[in-house]
Structure 1
């Protein structure tokens, strides 16, 4: 018998399952007590009529005691019949509600079919549910870096847990992609990774996207994936680019161009800032006053040579242990670019020497903040007098074109001592140094340009850089190529990706879910006991003044606007024949070479850098906030509580999903994030909130036999315990409220609404959110089901004593 059939069969379905749906309308008895069962009423009337026929002579006599007892008996019997009828009606309505739940229309959309497959792969909670919900994520599926070994103990004492423990397969995989013998795919997906994966699916779709701008984004992404063309092209594209920026002594064709002209070209067209960084932003002093005026910002550069801060001398210095591997890195780069052994030693040495001199005046932000060296307002005219080696007005006019920049305009400088120190160093190496004829400043700028373009060059450059990172102990796991390509596509084409995402997010369904979650949250907070009534009023006024809504960026352009905005951008596209090639590009001979020439990622990447840099001045002119398409957490702006679109990709949310699945997944995450935003105001001002957090955390430690943690970590754990425990209640209550307004819902895999809600919550918590989660999903489910009569009895897997402990929270 299927799970759906079990729930619709009254002989097998527990009556408490009915509490998982909104309570049906109950026909209450007449409050006056006069309404009675019709048969009982007629019997009473007949008895009274018979008594009247016995004669007038009995009229003044006292009624026998047995007659009074008989009338009392009939009255009580009538009340019993009436109560039985009402209870029967309630039971019938509940059963019919149950049957409607169990016979919900199955969701057969493509998104639901994929979700169903994921649920099956995760384990079916409807089979032996106590074992499923009381073990770590159902079957100990977590990879070792989530701590699944310690968390898979389950709730002790339950016989089903003990009997099933031995049957669970042992998972000992490495948890990395492509690893054999274990997990072949990383299960723990960060929210941003889920969003990037969704954007990847859009860009890799075989269907033609609407609009030329969308097709250009797709063309760039596909050229980025074509690593075979990058390897085929080798270093030749970069050598050709060097000639466009004035040549280089290493290649023997150095034109000895003007220093400032080369510097402007690198910053304006190639997003390369060798000596200082340029960007725009607000002044923190203005932001505090609500002003959004933007300034050109000038900061120290990201120096390529590894340095460390000496807190004793308050100066940066080059790490002695990194000198040899960094010198080897520079020499290998130069050899790849065609330099001889002797030439590479000279140019690598001058690059390291110049870098070391610049590093002396570089300082970390905390030191500059303490010295008042951050956000110093300086006019461009004054900056020119402080650092005359750079033509500041010309540089800023070129980089931020078409913005009008004048000598008296104010800019924000974030390390004026560095800028003043940099200028004489440039002058020394430009005019008076004994190696000036070999172009040391040009070498320094060319190697910085090389660093910018390494992602578009063959694997030798990337592998060399990674070897240095390993030698320094900083090597991180390399991101998959697809993820890097999505991020790079978003650097210059983020309005296009924002448009594509906005097209696919169901604004009405997402907005409705946000409202239900927010109103359920405010209702729960009103139930709390606050330290002072004035505090309650202040906090609730602040919360209720917020307007929750889906964040749709102001610069969400239409398709026509995007096509016009990117009309001059032409990315070289991959030859369509490439899609027909089976497998890799290895043995396709001449065809692959032709395809590589037709789709050069290097030329596309260079154009992307220019495009990205040209858009830097746009927020400065329009006075608008830059859209962050990768935003995946709620935030407050003025009186608006904004939930970004990036939180709503599958598998978190889909408009065709059953609402139970959406509320159990993204509904929980939204509730949790909002509580985190409000936590400082709530947790410190509500006695009942603190007591509930302590109680839930203590029960978790007791039921899972974990060791208590002391100090600040335990305080934070108690706060997070309250947040997650409350967020799950809020999401469940919000779903029930939505069911009252829209009783119909669909189902997946034959699961009832409540089971589907908890399955979605458990899956999202186990697979998709590697944030701080001290409470295991299984514990949260059993805790909520123990305290609130909203779950099937089969999910209430604790003993009576354990239930009483949780009910006290």
Structure 2
């Protein structure tokens, strides 16, 4: 158990010392005043001579005594008044208990996640996160709570503006939640889509349409790309200039290069079962379904073999190539590139000389040869392959039979690839996500108005400024950085642009009422989804055609992931991050600095990531920098890791550097704030001082059940993200009274920041 913070008692002890000194001074003054009165009395008697009467002498003595009594009363009153004043001052300087609902809720969160029986000096992760269950983590929990807030907004009373974006967003969410109507429609809406595409020979009539016409419809009207992906992205040489990019396709099956043959065969069997189930749900003949599903899998397998791994393209220096539509048409002639891309990216005006960014040209050449071969030998099977892929794409908008088929496939594939099962998500969460995708401008404005008002935004900016100022100051004291690099880095940090809460457009009230005239909702939910898809794609294209904004946000305002954009030199902190338990206006400052403040500092340190890599800071003290690197690597290597976990790479090292530095910067900013601003509070019943709450809130951000490392996650495992920085911070050991040699109070520490 941590030692209880004795702020009030300490203040009282200091108060007693001061009062004792003041009492001694006053009593001494009182005694000096009494002696002086007697001397004056004798002097007066001598001046009057010996002829004074006894009555006169008695009167003089009485007045002297009265004077002494009055002086004593006056001094006692001053003493009492000073005591009350000093008591008031010291009492208000100590931390008060925060017993508001938000603080009591935060205390309940800490008690629910923490294990106070764990020794904080040896296992602070268990102390803060020991009761965390399942695969949930703090960021996921916060993201889900933000979606709950969006749900409350969408289920609130009807909007005040009929026909507005608010009304359409609410109607879409309501139709998504209307599972009775979706179940009643069954596969009917999907059959209608298939008929519009010419049908297929698995069930019903089939009209053999032109391949490129079908592909053009799939891409432009249904957002389905069976052979490649096409999207708008930043130009490699000019980040603010959009360019059409042609990339490898995304497959439903998790095939991998150099996959074990047994696992590969099992995956193919599961996927075949899934395709057979889709065909049967659409009324197909079982024999034909089996035949067409098998060939569809064969097409997918051959396309997959054409892919070249990213590492291979990197070593060859061919991550992408710039070609025109005309050049691509000559190299991959099976696809009518101009027609398909023009339909997909309307209202852009394309021509054969339009430049494209192609990510894997060799794949596109081989894909084109395969399509030409299939058009000659298996045209009907090629049509079935495209439609089966479309059915999988649209399954979330269909009835429960289709959704259940897709869910069972996903679970079995995760088992085969040794991934943890995906927890079932409630229907409302899926509907909130869909509504947020299609009506982001409206929901962004509503969320910001509800959860990120002007006072919260001002407090978040104030916190950021405090973090930024401390980092600029600390950069002056880095022993391994030369003076010129220090100045350049300080200037870079000072000139950083910050976007807080939401983009400027989302802060305008009229955005919530934005009209979506091109969206036609109903009569079925699938038709509503398709109309929203087309509207969203058109909005994206139009946004790229407008003059470029200073920075185009990569996250929605209700999301929780902050990021730093190198190309725009801007750091983005969405409003969703500044919600309980990471931030609240009514929290103790220790919580806001320990949680949100450490996240801010971590993102700021990403600006100078490259300085830590060998050779990227030629003017720095190479020996000192190398020593700091080795010290941190050895320091982290001393901690035990969960089984099957590996993090020995440069990306994880940089994240560790930012973790250590982020905690140090946030702590210094908090300490500085305490010196200049009184009125800190603490949480009741936790027996934690404000400084201890700071470290507790920092660890709370990292709470997550340890699991095998995700291949896409560059961070260290959660326990190491807690213990590594805390053991590098002397203040932690001091405030938790850790004995020398404890795991989190080592004898030697690395001097990084």
Choose the corresponding residue for 1:744, options 674, 679, 682.
679
Number of aligned residue pairs: 654
Change (3 A) 1:787 1:807: farther
Q: Does 1:258 align with 2:195?
A: no
Task: Summarize the alignment of residues 157-172 of structure 1 with structure 2, pairs less than 5 Å apart.
Answer: none
Task: Summarize the alignment of residues 511-522 of structure 1 with structure 2, pairs less than 5 Å apart.
Answer: 511-522=461-472
Change (3 A) 1:775 1:251: closer
Task: Summarize the alignment of residues 718-797 of structure 1 with structure 2, pairs less than 5 Å apart.
Answer: 723-749=658-684, 753-766=690-703, 771-772=715-716, 773=718, 774=720, 776=722, 780=726, 783-785=729-731, 791=735, 795-797=736-738
Choose the corresponding residue for 1:666, options 576, 584, 596.
596
Task: Summarize the alignment of residues 56-135 of structure 1 with structure 2, pairs less than 5 Å apart.
Answer: 99-102=91-94, 104=96, 106=98, 108=100, 110-122=101-113, 131=119, 135=123
Q: Please list the CA deviations of residues 213-262 of structure 1 after superposition, one character each: whole Å capped at 9, or x if unmatched.
A: 34544544455455565555432332232122222222222233333332
Distance 1:476 1:715 in 2: 27
Choose the corresponding residue for 2:130, options 142, 147, 154.
142
Q: In structure 2, what is the equivalent of residue 469 of structure 1? A: 413
Q: Please list the CA deviations of residues 384-431 of structure 1 after superposition, one character each: whole Å capped at 9, or x if unmatched.
A: 34444433222222111111122322222233333344445434434x
Q: Please list the CA deviations of residues 137-193 of structure 1 after superposition, one character each: whole Å capped at 9, or x if unmatched.
A: 46475369xxxxxxxxxxxxxxxxxxxxxxxxxxxxxx33xxxxxxxxx5x425255
The DSSP-based 3-state class of the residue aligned with 2:245 is strand
Task: Summarize the alignment of residues 2-81 of structure 1 with structure 2, pairs less than 5 Å apart.
Answer: 7-10=7-10
RMSD (Å), alpha carbons: 4.8
Q: Does 1:242 align with 2:194?
A: yes
Q: Please list the CA deviations of residues 27-60 of structure 1 after superposition, one character each: whole Å capped at 9, or x if unmatched.
A: xxxxxxxxxx999999xx9xxxxxxxxxxxxxxx
Distance 1:759 1:343 in 2: 62
Choose the corresponding residue for 1:443, options 378, 384, 391.
384
The DSSP-based 3-state class of the residue aligned with 1:402 is coil
Q: Does 1:492 align with 2:438?
A: yes
The DSSP-based 3-state class of the residue aligned with 1:282 is strand
Change (3 A) 1:320 1:189: closer
Change (3 A) 1:694 1:95: farther
Q: Does 1:558 align with 2:508?
A: yes
Q: In structure 2, what is the equivalent of residue 456 of structure 1? A: 397
Distance 2:650 2:538 in 1: 48
Change (3 A) 1:689 1:755: farther
The DSSP-based 3-state class of the residue aligned with 2:246 is strand
Distance 2:301 2:705 in 1: 44
Change (3 A) 1:769 1:656: farther
Q: In structure 2, what is the equivalent of residue 478 of structure 1? A: 422
Q: Please list the CA deviations of residues 418-465 of structure 1 after superposition, one character each: whole Å capped at 9, or x if unmatched.
A: 3344445434434x42x54xx223212211111101222324421452
Task: Summarize the alignment of residues 182-193 of structure 1 with structure 2, pairs less than 5 Å apart.
Answer: 188-191=136-139, 193=141
Q: In structure 1, what is the equivalent of residue 67 of structure 2? A: none
Bigger drift between 685-694 and 632-641 goes to 685-694
Change (3 A) 1:479 1:271: farther
Deviation at 1:490, TM superposition (A): 3.4
Task: Give the TM-score normalised by structure 1.
Answer: 0.68
Change (3 A) 1:719 1:5: closer
Q: In structure 1, what is the equivalent of residue 529 of structure 2? A: 605
Q: Is the 8 A contact 1:220 1:604 kept in 2?
A: yes
Q: In structure 2, what is the equivalent of residue 293 of structure 1? A: 241
Q: Is the 8 A contact 2:468 2:494 kept in 1?
A: no
Deviation at 1:516, TM superposition (A): 0.4
Distance 2:733 2:560 in 1: 35
Q: Does 1:678 align with 2:608?
A: yes
Bigger drift between 713-722 and 469-478 goes to 713-722
Distance 2:128 2:496 in 1: 40
Q: Is the 8 A contact 2:220 2:343 kept in 1?
A: yes
Change (3 A) 1:524 1:758: same
Distance 2:724 2:268 in 1: 52
Choose the corresponding residue for 1:507, options 457, 467, 491.
457
Bigger drift between 639-648 and 795-804 goes to 795-804
Q: In structure 1, what is the equivalent of residue 145 of structure 2? A: 197
The DSSP-based 3-state class of the residue aligned with 1:261 is helix
Deviation at 1:512, TM superposition (A): 0.5
Q: Is the 8 A contact 2:271 2:409 kept in 1?
A: no
Change (3 A) 1:237 1:527: same
Distance 1:15 1:697 in 2: 45
Task: Give the TM-score normalised by structure 2.
Answer: 0.73
Q: In structure 2, what is the equivalent of residue 653 of structure 1? A: 583
Bigger drift between 237-246 and 559-568 goes to 559-568
